[in-house]
Structure 1
């Protein structure tokens, strides 16, 4: 590392001080607080929690502040902190059908049980800069209602009643669930590990992979069956009392994508599913997840896997932004010995090349 360079340790210490000053910026400007980040940069906080695999808005806001707004660096910080936490067990599967819905839309049916709930979204806004936001803008009070607590059946359940979509897979009782945070990734990977990988994966990478399937690299023709965002209760089975106890509520976004499937020799034509789930309001992320999840099921459904998004090893090995960042950014660190070795080899090869071609050069000069 740079410590090996003369004066390197002092240089690194000063680099830390420079970073702290750059992070703070002009000290005549009020320092941003964690509450401000959490409340006003909520989508950035949601992304850091999802890809950092830790639901804690305050810690995610702190990581964003410490990282100067670099979300991948913030995700790295959250994961590093998460690795220090004790592990008490595994929560019960959350019931998204009982979600206290704040937003719920379907692109497949206009009228759905419980209705379409537009909620907070950019979908219908004009993409024009709003100068009023720079002047301490106070928004107009919106019409509000309590989040629905009535069970809202999923749109895919409507299709399922008529047998028009594949059954939702259910885990066997007592079946173990893989954990990418504690075990190395191996191939082939079951769907539980694939979905974990996608949930932690870089949103931009997944967006590109999902987009590629829509452009023909994977023969994906999707419909958004439903996107829902709201609060769900998390429960933990307490062995001491013999039943699950509630730990609290978290915000989640769930996307169920409906895809065409022509059937096979043993399976009748029906719709198939792609699935996405992430912390907070993460609609682009969960839609991309659902597209890639469906693409990765190609072999399972008897389809030819020819596109990058259908290649399990390619997608899962390159989706993690922390791992990718480490591998790319390590190139900034000293590689003096390696480069000198390469430089010596190149000079030797050039000398051998010149000697091998010297007679021809002399002959041409004589002519």
Structure 2
């Protein structure tokens, strides 16, 4: 503890009370309930779950309410809570091919088995304020719903039939767990993807945009973007087989990227991959673009000194909780540090003035 802030317990208690008062706001206005946040602010809930590495809509809604809508603070709360939870085991890898798709689009194939499902998206809205939403008693229009059941093949499998796209590398090695083990360099692709899935959406978006503007350029098409629920299974040793323990909503993006070939590989398409909790297609697409940029070395491409190609830069700066902690610590008391620098600057100024006076006298 800083010596300078000892004895400030009463002030801190008052700050907590003021925060609670500000969180509640005007008591004449009905209090915001967790069910309202979970159902009506779903995209915020999904982001908190994705970057908090914990799939629980109720807890994410609570974190959003407690943080007054500050999503990074909410993510911090979720991660802190996650560390208190016991781990009973690991689930089996989910099969996104068995996803019940609420949304499934491809920018590379117009006609694909299962069809294109536009789903709930802002893509085709006019981006004009809808003042009808300000009125009480909104009654939403009933939409025609379609969800693909059964196994829906990924678009990239069609390119695989002709050998036009790289095979997905198969690696049965258990991936590291970044929630329990610190990130180490050089990081393999499993570690990079895990870090990107937890990364700040805005930071990842900025890096992805930089690749499109030429910094580590890789020309990408969205091979497929799908959003929907997938079952989660877990092996039960006592039973000797896997049982379904629930389902989670995921957003998955596979990009198809041009590849000129190398000394060992023929010209073909390559892949970028993104997978995140909930409906978060902006994050999933950004993740796929950055993933592809980070693969320059394994694909034998040139390093263009672009930020999105630098794994150390990307992965060590993408975590918004780590960044927030380091950034916000500078607002804590640094009285001793500042006084020493203040005395140093004063001394340097005195020496500079003395030197000017001596020079003028000569």
Counterpart Cα distance in 2 of 1:131 and 1:154: 40
Displacement after TM superposition at 1:313 (Å): 0.1
Counterpart Cα distance in 1 of 2:207 and 2:6: 46
In structure 2, the partner of 1:359 is 358
After superposition, the C-alpha distances for 1:236-278 in whole angstroms (9 at most, x for unaligned) are 1111222211111110000001100000111100000000000
Q: Secondary structure at the match of 1:108?
A: coil
Displacement after TM superposition at 1:144 (Å): 2.5
In structure 2, the partner of 1:213 is 211
In structure 2, the partner of 1:124 is 124
> Any conservation in 1 of the 2:4–2:333 contact (CA below 8 Å)?
no
Counterpart Cα distance in 1 of 2:6 and 2:311: 46
In structure 1, the partner of 2:289 is 291
> Any conservation in 2 of the 1:296–1:310 contact (CA below 8 Å)?
yes
In structure 1, the partner of 2:323 is 324
Q: Secondary structure at the match of 1:59?
A: helix
In structure 1, the partner of 2:156 is 156
In structure 1, the partner of 2:101 is 101
Counterpart Cα distance in 2 of 1:250 and 1:348: 62
In structure 1, the partner of 2:76 is 76
Q: Secondary structure at the match of 1:12?
A: helix
Q: 1:57 to 1:345 in 2, by over 3 A?
A: same
In structure 2, the partner of 1:276 is 274
Q: Secondary structure at the match of 2:28?
A: coil
In structure 1, the partner of 2:339 is 340
Displacement after TM superposition at 1:60 (Å): 0.1
In structure 2, the partner of 1:143 is 144
Counterpart Cα distance in 2 of 1:217 and 1:47: 27
Whether 1:22 and 2:22 are equivalent positions in the alignment is: yes
1:253 to 251, 254, 257: 251
Q: 1:48 to 1:102 in 2, by over 3 A?
A: same
Counterpart Cα distance in 1 of 2:6 and 2:85: 38
Displacement after TM superposition at 1:6 (Å): 6.8
Displacement after TM superposition at 1:7 (Å): 5.0
> Any conservation in 2 of the 1:2–1:9 contact (CA below 8 Å)?
no
> Any conservation in 2 of the 1:2–1:8 contact (CA below 8 Å)?
no
After superposition, the C-alpha distances for 1:268-324 in whole angstroms (9 at most, x for unaligned) are 000000000001101000000000000000111111222000000000000000000
- Figure out how many residues of one structure are paired with residues of the other and give that number: 360
Displacement after TM superposition at 1:3 (Å): 7.6
Q: Secondary structure at the match of 1:260?
A: strand
Structure 1: gaps of 5 or more residues: none
Matching of residues 51-70 of structure 1 within 5 Å: 51-70=51-70
Structure 2: gaps of 5 or more residues: none
> Any conservation in 1 of the 2:100–2:149 contact (CA below 8 Å)?
yes
In structure 2, the partner of 1:237 is 235
Counterpart Cα distance in 1 of 2:116 and 2:313: 37
Counterpart Cα distance in 1 of 2:169 and 2:251: 19
In structure 1, the partner of 2:180 is 182
RMSD after superposition: 1.2
> Any conservation in 2 of the 1:46–1:282 contact (CA below 8 Å)?
yes
Counterpart Cα distance in 2 of 1:282 and 1:156: 21
Counterpart Cα distance in 1 of 2:192 and 2:199: 10
Displacement after TM superposition at 1:358 (Å): 1.9
Counterpart Cα distance in 2 of 1:183 and 1:43: 29
TM-score when scaled to structure 1?
0.96
Counterpart Cα distance in 1 of 2:3 and 2:109: 62
Counterpart Cα distance in 2 of 1:76 and 1:3: 27
Q: 1:6 to 1:53 in 2, by over 3 A?
A: closer
Whether 1:228 and 2:229 are equivalent positions in the alignment is: no
Matching of residues 109-120 of structure 1 within 5 Å: 109-120=109-120
> Any conservation in 1 of the 2:276–2:283 contact (CA below 8 Å)?
yes
In structure 2, the partner of 1:312 is 311
